[in-house]
C-alpha cells in the first residue's frame, strides 16, 4: 500500500470512529442493513446491464434480470403503482428522467421555492435548469408549512404548467393534492410528486398516498426514510401507454446507462425488509421526530409548525436566528458530535447564512432510539445551540448516549422469526 492509499483508508477509519460516537440527524441520510450491505459489496457492482430485463445490450445478465424483475414487482406491490423503474441511480437522476420524459426546453412547471423547502434539483441552477425548463413557485402558507391551496390553484390556472411538481427537502407536512384536483384537470398538466425524503413514510403508511390523491408520477431517493442504498426509483400510474414509454425512455437511454446493479440489489433487500418492518419503523420515525420537536420547543427553541405538532414526517425545522444563525449553530453542534445541517427557512435569502437548521429522526430510529432518547437528544442540542455550553463536554455525553445504540434495527438480522414470517408471506 502506498502513501495515498494509506491516507484514504486512514481517513475512512477516522470517519467511522467519529460517527460511531455521534448523533447523526441529517434528514437525507440513513443506514443500510447488514444483508443490504452484503448485496452492495457483491459482484453486481462490477457489471453492466443497459436496458430492461430480457432486452439487454450486454450478455451475462441472467441473474441480474431475475433480481430486477423481483424488485419491480415489490415496488408495484408496496406503492400500488402500474409502472415501477428501479434503474435511476439517485433521486436527482430520477427527477432528470421525468423532466426528460415529460418536458421540453421552455416549458413551464410549477414547484415549491427553495426558501420554502424545495430541493435544489428544482432550481434553475439544478436539474430543471439543465433541461431548460422555466419554474414558477407556489405561494406558501408559512404558518402551516405547506403550499397555499387557494393561491396555488389560481397560479396553476393562470400559468397552465406542463407539469405541477410537489415535494421538498424540508417536508414537514403532506401536500394538499386532493384540494388541487380541479385545477389539475382544468389545465391538463402532469402531476409529479418528489418523494425523496418521505418515500419510506409513504411505504410505511405514515405520511400520505400521493398516487391515490392525484399524483401520476413519484420520483424518490431510496436512502432517507427508506433505509436503503443511495439510489433512486420512478413510480407511476401513467395515463396512457405513450406516457409509460416516455417515462421508461426518460430513464434509459435518457439519463441512465448502467444502473448500478449492486445498489439495485441492496434496494431489493431493503424493500423485502420494509414489507416486514416498515410500518413499525415509519411509526417510530414520526413519533421520534415529533418528540424531538416538542423537547426543543419546551426548552424555548423556535421549532416551526408548532400549532400542527411540529411535523408529520421525519424532519423538524428549527429557527436558530437568535442563537447565531443556522451556519454557526450547525458548526457548534458538529463540534459536539451532533451532525445536522444549516437550512433555508421561509423568507431566507442566503443559503450560505440561513436562519435555520434541519433535523431528521430516521437514522437514530434505525439504531433503536425511541421517545425517551429524543428527549435527551433535544436537551443536548439545546445546551449547545442556546446555552452555548462547551461542545467538548457535551460531546462526551453524546458519545455515552450513542454507545448504547450500535445495532441496526428493523431488518432481517433483528430477529429470525420475522424472517420466517416474511418467507411465509412471500410464498
* Confidence (pLDDT) at 143: 85
The pLDDT value given to residue 118: 79
How many angstroms separate the Cα of 409 from the Cα of each of 74, 83, 306, 367? 21, 30, 30, 6
- pLDDT confidence of residue 120: 78
List the one residue out of 23, 16, 36 whose CA is nearest residue 223. 36
Comparison of pLDDT for 126 and 47, the residue scoring more: 47
Do 239 and 300 belong to one domain?
A: no
Cα–Cα distance measured from residue 292 to residue 338, given in angstroms and rounded to the nearest whole number: 14
* Three-class DSSP category at 385: helix
> Which pairs from 39-44 meet CB under 8 Å and 24+ separation?
39/262, 39/265, 39/266, 39/268, 39/269, 40/229, 40/262, 40/263, 40/265, 40/266, 41/262, 42/262, 42/265, 44/261, 44/262, 44/264, 44/265
- Predicted local confidence at residue 266, as pLDDT: 97
DSSP summary character for residue 77: H
Is 1 a member of any domain?
no
On whether both 219 and 367 belong to a single domain, the answer is: no
The number of folded domains in the chain is 2
CATH value at residue 86? 3.40.640.10
Please identify which residue in the block is written with the cell numbers 457489471: 47
Banded model confidence at residue 142, pLDDT cuts 50, 70, 90: confident
Q: Where are the alpha helices (DSSP H) in 160-260?
A: 181-187, 199-203, 210-213, 241-249
Q: Are residues 79 and 124 in the same domain?
A: yes
Q: What is the CATH number of the domain that holds 299?
A: 3.90.1150.10
Q: Is residue 13 part of a domain?
A: no
pTM: 0.94
Q: Does residue 364 register a pLDDT over 90?
A: yes
Are 86 and 222 members of one domain? Answer: yes
**Residue pLDDT, tens place only, 152-174:** 999 999 999 999 999 998 999 99
CA nearest neighbour of 41 among 260, 232, 277: 260
Say if 414 falls within a structural domain: no
User: How would residue 417 be classed by pLDDT, with cut points 50, 70 and 90?
Assistant: very low
Average pLDDT over residues 410-421: 62
Whether the predicted pLDDT of 113 surpasses 50: yes
Tell me: do 230 and 123 sit in the same domain: yes
What is the span of the domain harbouring residue 326? 24-31+279-402
Same domain, residue pair 180 and 319: no
**Averaged pLDDT of the chain:** 94
Predicted confidence at residue 418, as pLDDT, reads: 46
Residues 184 and 298 in one domain: no
Residue 410 belongs to a domain: no
The three-class DSSP label of residue 350 is coil
Q: Are residues 248 and 100 in the same domain?
A: yes
Do residues 170 and 221 share a domain?
Answer: yes
Task: Let me know if residue 226 belongs to a domain.
Answer: yes
Mean pLDDT of 232-244: 97
- Domain membership of residue 10 (yes or no) is no
**For residue 18, what are the CA distances in angstroms to 24, 369, 379, 398?**
11, 19, 21, 11
Q: Is the pLDDT of residue 178 over 90?
A: yes
Q: What's the pLDDT score for residue 426?
A: 46
Residue 316 shares a structural domain with residue 207: no
> Under DSSP, is residue 165 helix (H, G, I), strand (E, B) or coil?
strand
Rounded mean pLDDT, 104-132: 86
Q: Is residue 197 part of a domain?
A: yes
- pLDDT for 349: 87
Q: Percent of the chain, pLDDT > 70?
A: 97
Whether 358 contacts 317, CB under 8 Å: yes
Together in a domain, 60 and 142: yes
- Please write the tens of the pLDDT for every residue from 47-100: 999 999 999 999 999 999 999 999 999 999 999 999 999 999 999 999 999 999
Helix (H) or strand (E) holding 334: helix 326-335
Rounded Cα distance between 257 and 196, Å, is: 21
Residues 266 and 376 grouped into a single domain: no
Is residue 99 situated within a structural domain?
Answer: yes
Contact 235, 81 (CB under 8 A): yes
Amino acid at each position: 500500500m502506498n502513501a495515498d492509499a494509506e491516507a484514504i483508508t486512514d481517513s475512512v477509519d477516522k470517519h467511522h470512529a467519529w460517527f460511531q460516537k455521534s448523533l447523526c440527524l441529517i434528514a437525507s441520510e440513513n443506514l443500510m442493513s447488514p444483508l443490504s450491505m452484503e448485496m452492495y459489496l457483491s459482484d453486481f457492482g462490477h457489471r453492466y446491464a443497459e436496458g430492461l430485463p430480457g432486452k439487454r445490450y450486454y450478455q451475462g445478465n441472467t441473474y441480474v434480470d431475475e433480481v430486477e424483475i423481483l424488485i419491480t414487482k415489490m415496488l408495484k406491490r408496496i406503492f400500488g403503482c402500474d409502472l415501477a423503474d428501479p434503474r435511476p441511480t439517485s433521486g436527482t437522476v430520477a427527477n432528470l428522467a421525468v423532466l426528460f420524459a415529460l418536458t421540453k426546453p421552455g416549458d413551464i412547471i410549477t414547484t415549491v421555492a427553495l426558501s420554502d423547502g424545495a430541493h435544489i434539483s428544482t432550481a434553475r441552477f439544478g436539474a430543471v435548469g439543465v433541461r431548460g425548463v422555466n419554474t414558477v413557485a407556489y405561494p406558501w402558507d408559512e404558518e402551516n408549512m405547506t403550499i397555499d391551496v387557494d393561491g396555488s390553484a389560481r397560479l396553476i390556472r393562470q400559468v397552465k404548467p406542463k407539469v405541477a411538481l410537489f415535494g421538498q427537502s424540508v417536508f414537514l407536512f403532506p401536500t394538499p393534492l386532493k384540494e388541487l384536483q380541479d385545477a389539475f384537470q382544468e389545465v391538463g398538466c402532469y402531476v409529479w410528486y418528489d418523494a425523496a425524503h418521505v418515500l419510506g413514510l409513504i411505504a410505511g403508511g405514515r405520511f400520505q398516498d400521493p398516487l391515490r390523491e392525484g399524483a401520476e408520477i413519484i420520483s424518490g431517493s431510496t436512502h432517507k426514510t427508506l433505509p436503503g442504498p443511495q439510489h433512486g426509483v420512478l413510480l407511476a400510474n401513467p395515463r396512457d401507454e405513450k406516457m409509460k414509454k416516455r417515462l421508461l425512455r426518460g430513464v434509459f437511454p435518457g439519463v441512465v446507462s448502467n444502473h448500478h446493479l449492486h445498489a439495485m440489489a441492496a434496494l431489493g433487500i431493503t424493500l423485502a425488509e420494509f414489507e416486514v418492518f416498515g410500518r413499525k419503523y415509519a411509526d417510530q420515525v414520526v413519533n421520534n421526530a415529533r418528540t424531538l420537536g416538542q423537547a426543543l420547543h419546551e426548552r424555548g427553541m423556535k421549532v416551526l409548525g408548532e400549532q400542527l405538532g411540529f411535523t408529520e414526517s421525519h424532519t423538524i425545522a428549527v429557527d436558530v436566528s437568535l442563537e447565531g444563525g443556522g451556519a454557526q449553530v450547525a458548526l457548534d453542534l458538529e463540534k459536539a458530535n451532533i451532525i445536522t445541517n444549516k437550512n433555508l427557512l421561509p423568507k431566507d435569502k442566503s443559503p450560505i447564512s440561513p436562519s435555520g437548521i434541519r433535523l431528521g429522526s430516521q437514522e437514530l430510529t434505525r439504531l433503536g432510539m425511541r421517545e425517551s432518547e429524543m428527549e435527551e437528544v433535544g436537551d443536548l442540542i439545546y445546551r449547545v445551540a442556546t446555552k452555548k455550553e462547551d461542545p467538548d463536554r457535551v460531546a462526551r455525553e453524546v458519545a455515552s448516549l450513542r454507545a448504547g445504540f450500535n445495532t441496526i434495527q428493523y431488518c432481517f438480522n433483528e430477529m429470525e422469526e420475522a424472517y420466517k414470517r416474511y418467507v411465509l408471506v412471500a410464498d
